[in-house]
Amino acid sequence: MILSLHAQAQLFLLTILLGGGLGLVYDGLRVFRHAIPHKPFWVQLEDGLFWLIAVFLVFGVMLRASSGEIRFFSIFGLFGGMGLYFLTLSRLVIAVSDRIIALVKYIAVLFFRILSTPFRLVWLLVRRPVLKFGSFCGKKRKKLLHSWKLYVKMKLHHFRIDWKIFRR
């Protein structure tokens, strides 16, 4: 299918916007990785899924806009849009999103501290008696285990004597 010059210019601008949009989505993926650290396997899996979806999206745009014909200027527009985005807006998006993530984490920690304050105050009041009771129970447990060990030795000794008598 032959495209007019006007249609080619529209396709070129569309692919530039698509490339910039793909760059923005990939930055969203990078921000997600900053917020929640990933192991290398998951990073590679996410990248693979991103590029698989990107390929299908680009194929859909090419199919609809130029009847499935792959044109050099559309590929150039796609990579040019991504490059333009990464050279201009990417740093700003990452910086702003990192600050937003830091703010959300700070608010979450502050909220948790506010919720846990009554429990920490109660622990400060009952800590000393609880620790003393635990120490007391530990000492009693040691004595009990020691006496149990002696009891077992005595019973084993009687069992051996009884066994010798039984064997005769």
The most confident of the ranges 5-14, 86-95, 117-126 is: 86-95
Query: For the chain, how many structural domains are there in total?
Result: 1
If we measure between CA atoms, which residue out of 8, 24, 9 comes closest to residue 81? 24
If we measure between CA atoms, which residue out of 71, 72, 74 comes closest to residue 13? 74
Q: What phi and psi values does residue 98 have, to the nearest 5 degrees?
A: -65, -40
Judge whether 80 lies within some domain.
yes
Judge whether 38 lies within some domain.
yes
Q: Which residues 6+ apart lie within 8 Å of 25 measured at CB? A: 50
**Stretch (H or E) spanning 26:** helix 5-35
Average pLDDT over residues 24-49: 93
For 114-161, write each residue's pLDDT tens digit. 999 999 898 888 888 888 887 777 777 767 666 666 666 666 666 666
DSSP letter at 3?
P
Q: Distance between alpha carbon 24 and the CA centroid of its chain, in Å?
A: 20
pLDDT value of position 49: 95
Say whether pTM exceeds 0.75: no
pLDDT value of position 63: 86
pLDDT value of position 43: 93
Judge whether 35 lies within some domain.
yes
pLDDT value of position 5: 83
| Six token digits for residue 73 | 């200027």
pLDDT value of position 38: 87
Judge whether 134 lies within some domain.
no
pLDDT exceeds 70 at position 48: yes
Judge whether 153 lies within some domain.
no
User: Which residue type, as a one-letter code, is found at position 90?
Assistant: S
When pLDDT is cut at 50, 70 and 90, the band that residue 89 belongs to is very high
Assign 79 to helix, strand or coil: helix
